[in-house]
Structure 1
């Protein structure tokens, strides 16, 4: 009789071990695209076999064995006596015949697979660097990373970003073809390339978290699964690259930001602004983890990078008892440093908010007006939202209403739009 829990076991093992399996297959075959396909074939076979025959004693080893046998089949089809086939066959077997099928009894016959911790780390790190290679578009990097490192299905990625599954599948297929055409090697880049490539990896993890923490569209303000996946990737990266301060800076930023999630929405699911949040609901364990990661970044002695500085700002909020008790002058100083290190209109806009809290709305309005005059953030609801609040605090109610109305029109997230409309009603 089929075991319905077998499918649950497949999903659980895949989520935990998929990156290691794909990474190991990529190292064995030297072909990133083939490795991902082989891992998917092994997954499909497990979905049939495990509910029927039972879960193997070493489920990750079972998946890797099936993937490696599929690799041998693929190379056999290409060339019966190919050197890679001979090498793989020797590496696989301990006297057993090589066949194209999974073990007839996976519980008893799947061979032990020795997971060398150092090799696992290298494989997963190489997987992250490969899937985030600069030759790929930003959308392709995100989709491929969630697929091969995060273990998410195309359907899950599509739901997270509110795009059709076919779009995600096309991005992944195109990304693998691009990596193959560009002959991107599956390896951890050498030290002289690592700094540049690391920035791409961190950017992808941050993009995933940003979309999860403040969804750009849809009804939900927070997509917890997407934000949680980014945190998991950041934790993996911090373990794999313990000497990189900016890796710890990113992890600190994600932990400290996620710590506020429990208080960011009310019982009705609507957003709760920072000044109205119940800080007793903030996740203190996440705050401790975030502060520890930030301290680790600071101990490197090279100065904080862009993610570390953002984490330092998040720490100012995390340790303050209230909005009024926040050290806003320190927040302003950190934003100024961030603006010099990684200039962007969003940083300037956030600095304006901090200036308004530290020195009043009149001091902040010229910063926002400068962004508007320069045409910065023209299609975003953020700028008119901030400008509307500053004008409201200055008593310029008619102008404030016009700005907030424009912000509501531009806002793609239904929950955020509700807050803007409620604020408009208050000014009505």
Structure 2
């Protein structure tokens, strides 16, 4: 008996699009219209209306494109409404500029989120909010997860993001992908955002999955692409080395029952040794430096001592302790002191 194929469920398709494309869709809306204060609501409204329309008329051939089109129209409607109320005719004239072609933006040919990361880390924002904004607008990390990363209540983080969007509203057309010559000034914030996205993959969540593999893998990939794109940036190179070395141990972090396995008890044959070699190659090309780049380099060095030990007993604990001491001197962090 031939079984008929089940038609795709609109709710399942929407859930997948939200997981995989939220950040990219939101970033494109902001890049196109320069209105982060309107873009997120417009995208949420488009998603809310999609289920009913797709259930009645069928799922579109390219769901993300459908959502992007509908959300873009909603942004324009909101801007027209503002113009009507405030008599600002110039808003509509500047509301829908032609987006820069992807090939004109460095990195867009490999992952169009790369230029958007440099857009979201705007220097007019407070340093502590820039990575959070990039996490939400570009990488699509939920607000509750961002709040957990920053150790604040979800309502507090939501309020901070709202204030940041209002701040960006006053910037106007300046909130766009910056000239690539300015990208080096934003590398630290981009590195922080990618590192936090990686960390979010290990944050506690509902369900059996201890490590959110897709989130961690995407962060590692973005770090690698960013380092290859900005070859003169030590902070991005150090980040790539660090995340690659950490991710190399991912498959051994959990046992058959899904529980976490201590580093000393991990089956090191399950480590990804090609990743370890890649991380070590990136790390050994770096020299001591200062600032956040040096913090990441020292963290990568600690990860390298673990990754290069054949057994737990072979670990060079003296070198690790010495590196932690240098890291503590640089950061003054009580967490580093504890480690």
Q: TM-score range by the shorter chain?
A: 0.7 to 0.9
SS in 2 for 1:324: helix
Q: TM-score, normalising length from structure 1?
A: 0.60
- Rounded Cα–Cα distance in structure 2 between residues aligned with 1:199 and 1:68: 31
- Rounded Cα–Cα distance in structure 2 between residues aligned with 1:82 and 1:314: 56
- 2:3 alignment counterpart: none
2:307 to 315, 318, 324: 318
In structure 1, list runs of 5 or more residues that go unmatched: 93-113, 351-428
| 1:382-418 Cα shifts (integer Å, max 9, x gaps) | xxxxxxxxxxxxxxxxxxxxxxxxxxxxxxxxxxxxx
Report deviation, 1:323.
1.5
Point out the structure with max Rg over C-alpha: 1
Count of matched residue pairs: 321
Q: TM-score, normalising length from structure 2?
A: 0.72
8 Å CA contact retained: 1:254, 1:290: no
Asked if residue 235 in structure 1 is aligned to residue 221 in structure 2, the reply is: yes
- Rounded Cα–Cα distance in structure 2 between residues aligned with 1:33 and 1:258: 35
- Rounded Cα–Cα distance in structure 1 between residues aligned with 2:288 and 2:242: 18
Report deviation, 1:171.
4.0
Residues 300, 145 of structure 1: alpha-carbon distance in 2 compared, 3 angstrom cutoff: same
Asked if residue 82 in structure 1 is aligned to residue 89 in structure 2, the reply is: yes
- 1:295 alignment counterpart: 281
1:46 to 44, 50, 61: 50
- Rounded Cα–Cα distance in structure 2 between residues aligned with 1:203 and 1:174: 20
- Rounded Cα–Cα distance in structure 2 between residues aligned with 1:43 and 1:219: 23
Asked if residue 30 in structure 1 is aligned to residue 41 in structure 2, the reply is: no
Report deviation, 1:143.
5.1
8 Å CA contact retained: 2:34, 2:175: yes
1:308 to 284, 297, 320: 297
Report deviation, 1:322.
0.7
8 Å CA contact retained: 1:205, 1:230: no
Asked if residue 224 in structure 1 is aligned to residue 218 in structure 2, the reply is: no
Matches within 5 A, 1:328-343: 328-339=317-328, 341-343=330-332
8 Å CA contact retained: 2:79, 2:92: yes
Report deviation, 1:165.
5.9
Report deviation, 1:269.
5.7
- 1:248 alignment counterpart: 237
| 1:185-205 Cα shifts (integer Å, max 9, x gaps) | 323456786445322332243
8 Å CA contact retained: 2:245, 2:279: no
| 1:326-369 Cα shifts (integer Å, max 9, x gaps) | 2334434544554555453433443xxxxxxxxxxxxxxxxxxx
8 Å CA contact retained: 2:31, 2:177: no
Report deviation, 1:161.
8.7
Matches within 5 A, 1:44-193: 44-79=48-83, 82-86=89-93, 116-119=102-105, 121=107, 124-133=113-122, 135-136=125-126, 138=128, 144-154=133-143, 166=155, 169-181=158-170, 185-189=174-178
- 1:344 alignment counterpart: 333
Matches within 5 A, 1:362-377: none
**Which of 1 and 2 has higher RCO (CA within 8 Å, sep 6+)?**
2
- Rounded Cα–Cα distance in structure 2 between residues aligned with 1:5 and 1:221: 24
